[in-house]
Amino acid sequence: MVAEARAEFLQLHDSVLDKLGRDIVDGTVPVGTRISADDVAVRFEVSRTVVREVVRVLESLGLLTVRRRVGITVLDSSHWNSLDPLVIRWQLAGPNRSAQLLILSELRSGIEPLAARLAATRATPEHCGQLTAAVIGMSATSRAANSDAYLGHDSDFHRTLLAASGNPMLRSMSEIVVEVLAGRTRHALMPHQADPEAIRLHGVVASSIQAGDAAAAEKAMLEIVTESASAMINSSTESDPT
């Protein structure tokens, strides 16, 4: 019974967190709004305990501030933890998706080619094997590139790449990159069939790292990020929510 109650609590918590977080990020709940915990509990039909934990998370993300005698207030985007995967997820679900994709693509172009260059001298045999396996998986599922299976292999590649850089700061960016990849699938910005050139370039990155060719790995990775950014932004422009 305890386990079931805990599972139900987490399910409610995650549901309210996602809905309220999205409402704040997309402006449905405007900056400066004072939120009543009681109103939130009534709106979502949850306990005050659930609301309290949701507010705690949103406060840690910089979306809310909680002050005595003032209460809960919605903050503007300058306070948000923009590198948190949850905030990225909510921004990609909102009306400014194209602008957010551009920002994230600029970030990726700075970290992933660098990670590829470093990985060429620091990757372990295990890393090299994982990169190759991910490319094989992407190739095998390329006819359903908008599926969770393809996304899983693609995510494995990028997680491994950042870990193989040997730089803990770059490795810590992996969930950000994976959230961008997931957002591309979640919001139908991924083609049904993968671009063969994109898969080839992933293979070039993997083989270049294994061969210790830093320049080739960096160049191919930059091409991957550039192609991905262009494709996502073009697709998003056509399907941006209004």
All domains of the chain in start order, with CATH: 2-79 (1.10.10.10), 85-239 (1.20.120.530)
- The per-residue pLDDT for range 187-200, each reduced to its tens digit, is 999 999 999 999 99
Q: What is the pLDDT of residue 239?
A: 59
- Of 64, 114, 75, 96, nearest to 183 by C-alpha is 96
pTM to 2 decimals? 0.88
**Structure-block tokens of residue 210:** 């294994």
Helix ranges (H only) for 26-147 are 37-44, 48-60, 85-92, 97-122, 125-140
Spans in the chain with pLDDT lower than 50? 241-242
Q: Distance between CA 89 and CA 197 in Å, rounded?
A: 27
Q: What is the pLDDT of residue 238?
A: 63
Q: Distance between CA 177 and CA 170 in Å, rounded?
A: 11
Q: What is the pLDDT of residue 163?
A: 98
Asked whether 164 and 123 are in contact (CB, 8 A), the reply is yes
Q: What are phi and psi of 168, to 5 degrees?
A: -60, -30
Question: What are the b/e assignments for 192-201, b being 16+ CB within 10 Å?
Answer: eebeeebbeb
CA angle (172, 127, 186) in 5-degree steps: 55
Q: Distance between CA 214 and CA 202 in Å, rounded?
A: 14
